[in-house]
Homo-oligomer: A and B are copies of this chain.
């Protein structure tokens, strides 16, 4: 499968990405750009976008980028720094870039931004690659 096919398969079959309306805008080997619009269902008790939603967005971009080569990539760890709150109605993008990839372990950096470029969160994810291939059947 090509990166675009893998991304489409993940977009359609990841239930959280689907529920939140995440859209893969761009994908290539080791790279993904994902979009999400903050709506009512994503707010925490303080009325701003929940940290778990921002993490989910970054994590999905990381998942698409790390699975883009065709081998199943499992997330083993992730770190996130929240820099600014995201508000209802804002459109966010998560851009995942590969920092390093060896046979078994990959490291990806994801920046979540608002439309004006303001950083909402910085995420770093580590993946473990299986020999098993991604398969949509």
Q: Mark A99-137, 1 if CB is under 8 A from B, else 0.
A: 110101101010100000001001010101000000000
Residue of B at shortest CB range from A74? B82
Q: A50-B15, A53-B16, A55-B56 are in contact. Are A77 and B77 (CB under 8 A)?
A: yes
Chain B contacts of A59 at CB under 8 A? 50-52, 55
Q: List the number of copies, as a whole number.
A: 4
Q: Is the CB of A44 within 8 A of B56?
A: no
Cα distance A57–B50 in the bound complex, in angstroms: 11
A26 contacts B by Cβ under 8 Å: no
Residues of A within 8 A of B (CB): 9-10, 12-16, 19, 40-46, 50-53, 55-57, 59-60, 63, 72, 74-84, 99-100, 102, 104-105, 107, 109, 111, 119, 122, 124, 126, 128
Which 3 interchain pairs have the tightest Cβ spacing? Answer: A52-B56, A83-B100, A13-B45
